[in-house]
Amino acid sequence: MEKLKTLRGFRDIFGDEINTFQHIEHVTRKYCKLLGFAEIAIPVLEKTELFVRSIGDTTDIVEKEMFTFIDKGGDSLTLRPEATAGIVRAYLQEGMYAKERVSKLFCIGPMFRHEKPQKGRFREFHQIDVEVFGIDDPLVDAELMWMIFLILNELGVDSYGIEINSVGCPGCRETFKKVLVSYFETKKNELCEDCIRRLQRNPLRIFDCKNAKCIEVSQKSPFLFDYLCVTCNEHFDMLLKHLEGFGVAYIINKRLVRGLDYYTKTVFEVTSDKLGAQKAFIAGGRYDNLVEEMGGPSAPGYGFAIGVERLALLTKMKELPKQPSYFFAYVGDRAKAYIVPMLRTFVKEGLSLSYSYEGKSLKSQMRYADSLHADFVFILGDEEIGKHIIVLRDMRKKIQFELPLEPSKLLQEVKKLITQ
């Protein structure tokens, strides 16, 4: 029979990598809670319309990368390609905007994009998503970048840069689109077919093109940053002031535009040269009109997503202080019967006790204990049972003790020994 395998671009996560994932989640949860964020879990599957309406139908995600299918009821459904859309839907559906002035939410879980799998890129990948609704103060923009700075610091990520830009409001974007269209019109013969189409529908998308010629043309184009309106300019200046207040270093990258339609004002990416060509591992920005466009009240939003797979590559795992570990070696069925009371006593105390299910010879059990790096091994056979004792071997000091066999008394003696 043919062996069953994961789908292309999907994979199992286990061993060291899942430990790193959990560590990243733990550190992120800690700072989210310190800064007043509440965790939310949203569905993995939503109506396709949600993503088309929020992300924008001319984006690469919606045009090419969604896992979309028709279910048995005839509805078009999509596996979430990102979390913001679903969180906005929840914010509206659960009426959070009516209950609290500002909502601060975060969400951890898998996302799905039907991209061409390549090194470090998967069709199922994991994100930590952080969003704030109801406030457009640039202090929020800075506060979240500071949170990222704290998280990366604690994870031991050293070489990274926070690149920021402003993509303005619809007002300054209208002004800029005209500037941009007239620039690209003069370079039309150098653009790819996709970009010629983008020139009509959404010229800002040309900046996302991966075509070498288009990149070259884009790089010489005017910057939106230089055409910001007064309000957007002030917002950006305040952001910089707050970042300085928080002690967060940043790089202004006028070329940075996020590949989603909904962003306004602040956009940013956190990049590392250690990640190769695709340098960004955290990205986000402000979306002041999305909630309203999705049929909600006028509530500005701001947020970012951490790519967990990519951050895991940069995370330095510290060796945690090790708890002593115990192993129970037994000879014969009478001794084996002590596994149950021993386990109940040890696990209840929060201590880990390993043992062999098969028993076999004492020698092979000792070898097994060694392979598990057990610090202490209990040894029990008929002879010890007869004397109401159990032998405890300290594997580090290579010495042995005789302790009372009764598990609760035994535990007291063990505790005395390890605090000595």
Could you list the residues that contact Zn ion (CB under 5 A)?
Answer: 168-169, 171-172, 192, 195, 209, 211, 214, 229, 232
Give the Cα separation of 386 and 381 in Å (integer): 9
Output 83 or 232, the one with its CB closest to Zn ion: 232
Residue 53 and residue 153 in contact, taking contact as beta carbons nearer than 8 Å: no
224: Cβ contacts below 8 Å, ≥ 6 apart: 166, 167, 168, 172, 173, 176, 180, 204, 254, 257
Select 207 or 346, whichever has its Cβ closest to Zn ion. Answer: 207
Closest approach, Cβ 173 to Zn ion, in A, equals 8
The least CB distance from residue 206 to Zn ion, in Å, is 6
Residue 323: what residue type? Q
Query: To the nearest whole angstrom, how small is the minimum distance from the Cβ of residue 252 to Zn ion?
Result: 17
**How far apart, in whole angstroms, are the C-alpha atoms of residue 180 and residue 204?**
8
| 389-394 vs 376-380, strand pairing mode | antiparallel
The letter for the amino acid at 225 is F
CB of 171 to Zn ion, least distance (A): 5
**Least distance from C-beta 198 to Zn ion, angstroms?**
7
Nearer Cβ to Zn ion, position 77 or 192? 192
- In the chain, the amino acid numbered 125 is F
Cα 25 from Cα 304, distance rounded (Å): 15
Q: Which is nearer to Zn ion, 143 or 288 (CB)?
A: 288
User: Which is closer to Zn ion, CB of 157 or CB of 217?
Assistant: 217
Specify the residue, 152 or 257, whose C-beta has the smaller distance to Zn ion. Answer: 257
CA distances to 24, 25, 145, 317 from 155, in Å: 7, 11, 15, 7
- Least distance to Zn ion, CB of residue 144, Å: 21
* Smallest gap from residue 299 Cβ to Zn ion (A): 18
Using an 8 Å Cβ cutoff, are 128 and 108 in contact? yes
Instruction: Closer to Zn ion by CB, 168 or 300: give it.
Output: 168
**Nearest-5° angle of CA 77, CA 82, CA 84?**
105
CB-based contact 120:134 (threshold 8 Å):
no
In whole angstroms, how far apart are CA 394 and each of 55, 237, 268, 352, 369?
61, 64, 55, 16, 12
